[in-house]
Chains A and B, each alone.
Chain A
Amino acid sequence: MNDAAPLFPVVAPGETQASVTDKVSALALREQAWLWWWIAFLPSLLLLIIGIGAVAYLFYDGVGVWGIDWPVMWGFALIGYVWWIAIASGGTFISALFYLLRVDWRTSLNRVAESMTLCAAACAGIYPILHLGRPWLFYWLFPYPNTMVLWPQFRSPLIWDFVALLTYIISSILFWYQGLIPDFATLRDHAGRRFHRLFYGVLSLGFRGSLKEWTHYRASYAVLAAIMAPLVVSVHSIVGLDFAGGLTVGWHSTQFPPLFVFGAALSGFAMVLLLVLPLRRLMHLEAYITERHLDVLGRLLLTCSLCLGYSYAMDAFTTYYGPDAADRTMFGTRLYGEVAWVYWGTILFNITLPQLMWFRRVRLAPWPVWVICLLVIVGMWLERYEIVITSLRRTHLPSAWGNFHVTAYDWATLAGTVGLFLTGVLLLIRIVPVISMFEMRGLVRRKP
C-alpha cells in the first residue's frame, strides 16, 4: 500500500555543500550548550552518580547485594549486558552494513547511530566485569602467559564472548573515530577559538584533505566497514551462544544465535529512532533527517519485529514439540506462572505494537514512533529477563527451583548504566558533528 506513495528526498532541497558545513559545524562549535541539553544532561549525570555509588558498594560487599541467588545465578548484570550490546548494534548496522550497500539515507544517521553504539557498548562492556564474583581478576580471561601456566578454557562460551565483545568494542571505537577524522579537520579549519582549533586539531591527526589522504582514507574506511558488518552478526550470535552453549533449561536452543541477532537489530533501530527523533527537532536537523529516514527506520523496525516474532514462535514450538519435560515445565511458568507478565509484555512490546509500523501514517508520526520505540526498548529488556531469569528459576530438579528477588542495587546499577549512556550520548552530540559533514557534502554534490 506504500509503494504508490512518492519517495521523500534524503536531503531537503536547497542544501549546498557550504550550507551543510556551516550548519553542522556551528552546532559543534557553539559557545554555550542549549538549555534543553542541560535539562537532559543533569538528570543523566545524577543517574550516573547513583550507578557509581551502587557499583562502589558492589565492589565493597560483593555480588550478594544483588538479587541473584541459587539457582538464579545470573541476573540483572547479564540482562543489562545483553540489552546494551543489542542496543549498540543499531549504529553498526546502519553505518557499516548500509555503507557497504551504498544506501544514501545512511549518511544522515550514521554519526548519531555510531555515537549511540559507542555509549551502549561502554555500558555493555562494564557489566560482565561487575557480574564477576571476583571482578578484580577479570583479566584472567585473557590468554596471556601467566604464573599459573594456564590458558583460558577455549570451550567456554564466555571466552568466545569475551573475545567477540572486546573485538566489537575496539572495532566500533576505531570505526567511529575514523569516520570522524575529516570532520574534525573541518571543525579545526572553521574554529574561531584557539581552544577549538587545538582540540579538533589534535583529534584530526593532521588530516589535510589531500587526494592521497582521501584515497587511503576511503580504502581503509571501506575495509573497516567490511569488518564491522559481519562482526555485528558474530557478536550477537556469540551472545546467543552464551546461553545456547549451556545445558540449561530454556537456553539449550540452536536458534538462539539468529534470535539474538534479530533482537539486537530491533533494539538497535529502536534506539536510533529514540535518539534521532528528538535531536532532529531540537537541533533543527529536519533538512538532513527527513521523513524518508523515519520511513526507512520504521520499515526496518517492522522487519526485525517480524523476524523476532518468528523466533519466539519457534521457541515455543520446539519446546512443545521436543521431548524435554523440564523445558515444558519452565515454558509453562513463562506463559502462565507468576512472572507471565514478563513473557506477555515481551510479546506485546516487541511483536504486537511494532505491527503499527505497517501504516505509513504511523511511521511518519514522530510521537507514536517514539513511544513505540521506547516500548520496544523496554520489551527487549523484558525479553532478556525472561531468557536469563525465568529460565533459571525452573531447572530439571524441582528441589532446586527458586525465585529471583530483585534488590535496590540491581535497579541502581541499571539506572547507572542508563545514566552513563545518556551522559555519553549528550557529551558526544555536544562536541562532535552530529551529521557526517564530508559524507553529507558528497551526498549533496551527487544529488543537487
Chain B
Amino acid sequence: MPSLNLPDDEELIRRFPSLAAPLAHPLDRRRTLKLLAAALATGTLGGCDPGTPTKKMVSAVIAPPGIVPGQPNRFATAHLLDGYASGIVVTHYMGRPTKVEGNPLHPASLGATDAFGQAAIYDFYDPDRAAAPMARGAPTDWQSIETAFETLRTHLAARHGAGAWILTGTVTSPTIGAAIDAVRARYPEARWVQWDPVSRDAVRAGAVLAYGRPVAAIPHLDRADVVLAIDSDLLESAPGHVRFGREFAARRNPARSAMSRIYAVEPTPSLIGVAGDHRFIANARDLPRILQAIADGVLHRPPPADAPDWIAPVVADLLAHRGRALVHLGPHLPAEAHALAFALNEALGARGATLGLVEPVEYAPAGQGASFADLLQGMEAGEVSALLVLDVNAAYVSPRFAAALPRVPLSFVLAPFADETAHGAAWFIPQAHDFETWGDARAFDGTASILQPQSLPLYGGRSATEVLSRCLGPTATTPLAAVRATWKAQLGDAQAWHDALADGVIPNSASRPAEVRLRPEAVRLSVQSPTASAIEVLFRPDPAVWDGRYGNNAWMQELPRPFSKIVWDNPLHVSPQMAAAHGLRNGDEVLLRMGGREARLAVWVMAGQASETAVALLGYGRTHAGETGNDVGANLYPLREVSGDVSITRTGRRVPIARTEHVDASAADPDDILRHGTLDEFNRDPHYLQQEAAGPALYRHVPPGKVAWGMSIDLNACIGCNACVVACMAENNVPVVGKDQVLRNREMHWLRIDRYYEGPSEAPLTLLQPLLCQHCEQAPCEVVCPVEATVHDEEGLNLQVYNRCIGTRFCSNNCPYKVRRFNFHDYAGLERRPAISRNPDVTARGRGVMEKCSFCVQRIAEARIAADRDGVPEQAVTACQAACPTRVFSFGNLHDEGSEVVARKHSPLNYVLLPDQNTHPRVTYEARITNPNPAIHA
C-alpha cells in the first residue's frame, strides 16, 4: 500500500496558487469549523442556482410551448469563421442543441455548411470549456473580476484611454463594433486592433491599391466559363466559400450544364486546384512572376521571355471568354498581386459579370498586421497599460506577445477556453459560446444575421458586448439589449424581429455595390517576388483545426485532411523532389530551423507540391487547448514570426503518422474504381464510361417496397471539403477513437472520402471519391452474418441491428467496399463529449458491435411517419447530403420518376462501383469529367 502523502504547504501553493493567501494565515479549529459550516450552507444555496438569469422558475407541469418530446425544434443562427458569418439552423431535442444544418435562406450557406460549422456542436459541449474566471492563471471569483473592471475604468478614465488597447479578431458584427466605438468614444486615446492569426491583409490592401479604398470582391463562379485560381482558397476558407462551392459545382457536370474550365496555379494542392482541370505547380515565390506574365498577356504587353509555355494558351482562353472569365488570388499573395488581379479582372470584363464589388463587410476594415505590430511594440516597450483581448489566442500564435503579455498590468482576456493567452493574462473571463448569447455578424456579401442563443449558458460565460460595456460602467448592457439597439431601425417592430430570427437573415442588409473606379496605376503595378531561399516554407492554416481554435475539437482532430488523410498531427509537408534530395521518407523526424528558431516534427511527402516548397501547417502544438488538444503536433507559429534561412535536417528518429489511408496505395490504378475522362471523350460518346460488367444472377432479389431509397454521388462536384464527414459524425453519434487507435486502423467514420492519385507523384491527377455503405440489393454482408444482425428492409436499406450483433465481423470481411466499422473498444463510452450532446434518435453503439452508414435511417423514419400521418410523399435528406456545399449527394425514392436522384441515375455518367461483384448497390456514382484545354499538352 502506498502511504498517504499529504503535500506540504509549498507544494499546495505551487499547485494551487490561490491557496497562498489563506495558508499564510493559519486558522484555529473553532474558526475553521465556523467557516466550514458557513461554506456548507452557502454552497448548498449556491447549488440551487446554476448561474442562470434570475427569473421565475416553475417546474414544467405544462410543457414549454413548442417543445414536444421526441420532436426536434430548429432555430436559425450563424456560425463565424474569422468574423464572417455563415447561416446555420440548429436542431434541438427537448431544448438541447444536437446538430447544425445550413440555412437555405442565408447567402453564405444556401443550406450547406463547412466542416467547421458542423463541428460547432462539439465545441459547444466541450467539457474543457472554461467555467470559471482566472487571475494570473489561477482560479478566482466573479467578484474579483468586477473589482478588476472597477480598477480598469478608473485607469481608463484617468488617462482617457491612453495606453489602452482592444485586441479582437476581424469584426463584422455591428453590435460589437458599436460597443467598441462606444468605448473609444469615452476613452478617445484607446486603440483598437483587429488581428487574425490567418491574415487576409493582402486582399484588403490589394483592393485599396486598386480602387483607392476598401471594397469586398464577390466572385460568381457559376457565371464564369474560365477561372484562373492562383494559390486560391476560394473553396476552403475564403469568406463565402460554402456558397462558392455550390456555384463552382453548378458548372462542373457536363451532363447537366456547360462545363467551366478551371486553371489553378499553386505551390501546394488546394481544393479548387484538385477539383479543377489544370493544375500548374509553381513555388510560391514564382507566383508573382507568373501573374505578371499573365497580366502582360491579357493587357497585350510583351510577355517576359522566360514565361512557362502554358501561359500563352491560358491567356488566350481568358481573352476568348471576356466577360465570362475570372481571376482569383489567395490571401497569401502580396497586395500588389491582388491589385493587379483586380486590374486583370477589369480588363477581362469580369466586373459586374463574374465579379461583384461591394462596400466592405467588416465593421472597420484595417490593415491587421501593421496594427498588431504596433501593439507588440507598445507591449514590449511597456507603453501598454491596459489590454482587452476578445477571443484572440495571440499568446499561442506569437511568442513575442506571450513574452510581453505579463508586462501589461491590466490585461483582460475573454475566451471560450482557458487558452495560452488566458493563462498569461492578469484576468481571464470565460466567454459564452455563440450558442449561448445574443449577437450579430455579417456574411461575405454583407448580409447580417442575428445570432440567437440556443441554450442557457452551460458554463456561465460572458459575451463580448457585456465585457465591453463593463469598461464603461458597472452595469453591463445585456447582449440582447445591445443587439436590439443596433437593429432598432430595421427590426424595430416585433414581427420584423421575429422574422429575422426565424429566417436567420436580416432582409436587405447586404452591402451596396461599390461605386469605385480602377486606379490607372493598378495596371502598371509590378509585383515583387520574395527573395529566393533554397527551401520556401509556406505557413498555412490546418484544414481541420484552422488557426488552432479547433485544437480541442476531437471531430476536427480526427478529420482526415483532404489529400494526405493525416489526422491528429501536422507533419511538415515536403515535395517529392525535396524528399528525394534530402533522403526523407514519410514519418522521418526532422529539425526545421528558420531564423534562429527551430521545431522538431515529422515530414510528410505531399504529392503535387512544388519542388522547393515545404508547407508548415499551423494550429498545432497547443499547450492549453484542453485535454484533447494539448501537445498534439508541433507549434510552427514561432517560426512564422521570424525570417531567415531555412534548413531541414533529419534527426534519425521515426515518428508514426496517423492516417486514415493506412497503406500507401498511390501505385494502385483507380481506373475502374473512380472512372474519369475528359470532356472531349464525353462529347464523342456520353456513355463511354458506362461499360458495366454486371453478371447474371442465380437469385436476384429486388426489395419490394413502395419506396426504394437510393443515392447518386456526383464525383464532379466533390471538392473534398469534409463537411459531409463531420455531419455524419454529428448526426449518427459516430465516435472518435484517438490517434493511437487510428494508427491501428480503427477509425470509425461511416463516410470517408477516398483519394487516389494517377500519374507521377510530382504532378499527379488527384481524384476524390466519397464512400459510404452502398446499400447493395444483393448485400454480401447479410448472408454471412450468423445472427441476422444485418438485414435488408423492403425499401432497400441495408440495416444494422446493433442489439443482435455479436461481433463475428464476417460482414466487414465480406464487404467489397469496406464501409463497415467495428467497435474494437467501447469507443462511445470513452468519448469525452457528454451524452447529452448526442443525437437522441441514434443509438450509441457499445463495444464489440459492428456499425455502418444507415442512410440516416432516423431521418427516413421521420419521413415515413410524416407520410403516414399527412399522406405526403416520403422525402428524406441524409446528413451528408444536407451539409454538402456542392450537392455531391442526391438521395431519394427511386420509384419517384420526378425526383432528382432518379434524374441523376439516368445521367450518362452514372456507374456502379465494383460492378463485377454483382452487389447491385443502391448508391451509384457519376464519373468525373475534366475539361482540359486542348491547346495545353498535359
Contacts and interface: CB of A to CB of B under 8 A. Distances in A.
B847 A133 contact: yes
A138 interface: yes
Given A141-B786, A399-B754, A246 B780 contact: yes
Given A162-B786, A397-B754, A62 B812 contact: no
Contact of B848 (A62, A71, A72, A151): A62
B917 A396 contact: yes
Interface residues of B, number: 52
Interface in B783-830: 783-788, 804-810, 812-814, 816-818, 821-826
SS of A interface (majority): loop
Interface stretch (B83-91, B544-552, B665-673, B675-683): B665-673
A148 interface: yes
Interface residues of A, number: 52
A439 interface: no
Interface stretch (B307-315, B424-432, B505-513, B742-750): B742-750
A141 B786 CA distance: 7
B895 interface: no
A62 B780 CA distance: 26
A427 interface: no
A61 B824 CA distance: 9
A120 interface: no
A247 B814 contact: yes
B667 to A, nearest CB: 9
B579 interface: no
Contacts of A157: 784, 810
Contact of A153 (B780, B786, B816, B824): B786
B663 interface: yes
Contact of B752 (A156, A399, A403, A405): A399
Nearest to B755: A399
Contact of B673 (A131, A156, A392, A397): A397
Nearest to B781: A247
Nearest to B693: A323
Contacts of B787: 140-141, 150, 152-153
Contacts of B299: none
B187 interface: no
B661 A63 contact: no
B665 to A, nearest CB: 3
A223 interface: no
A131 B663 CA distance: 25
Contacts of B673: 396-398
A153 B756 contact: no
Contacts of B848: 62-63, 132-135
Given A74-B813, A134-B848, A138-B806, A158 B752 contact: no
A245 interface: yes
Given A132-B808, A134-B807, A156-B810, A64 B824 contact: yes
A137 interface: yes
Interface in A388-419: 392-393, 395-403, 405
Contacts of A316: none
B765 interface: no
B863 interface: no
Contacts, number: 165
Contact of A247 (B755, B788, B917): B917
Nearest to B741: A64
A402 B847 CA distance: 22
Interface in B174-227: none
Contacts of A62: 823-826, 847-848
Contact of B804 (A135, A150, A245, A248): A150
Given A62-B826, A153-B787, A248-B813, A400 B818 contact: yes
Given A137-B806, A397-B673, A70 B818 contact: yes
A62 B846 CA distance: 11
B756 A399 contact: yes
B605 interface: no
A152 B665 CA distance: 38
Given A134-B848, A246-B814, A398-B668, A68 B804 contact: no
B806 A140 contact: yes
B491 interface: no
Nearest to A323: B916
A159 interface: yes
Contacts of A133: 805-809, 822-823, 847-850
A246 B752 contact: no
A329 B817 CA distance: 16
A155 interface: yes
29 contacts: A62-B848, A64-B746, A69-B824, A70-B746, A70-B821, A71-B813, A73-B809, A73-B810, A74-B810, A74-B813, A131-B808, A132-B807, A133-B806, A137-B806, A141-B806, A150-B804, A152-B787, A152-B788, A153-B782, A156-B783, A156-B785, A162-B786, A246-B813, A248-B813, A323-B916, A399-B771, A401-B662, A401-B668, A403-B745
Given A64-B746, A69-B745, A158-B786, 6 more contacts: A137-B806, A153-B788, A156-B785, A158-B784, A324-B916, A396-B816
Closest 7 pairs between A and B when the two form their complex, measured CB to CB: A133-B807, A133-B848, A64-B824, A398-B665, A400-B818, A398-B668, A399-B754
Interface of B: 661-663, 665, 668, 670, 673, 741, 744-747, 752, 754-756, 769, 771, 780, 782-788, 804-810, 812-814, 816-818, 821-826, 847-850, 914, 916-917
Interface of A: 61-64, 67-74, 131-135, 137-138, 140-141, 148, 150-153, 155-159, 162, 245-248, 251, 323-324, 329, 392-393, 395-403, 405
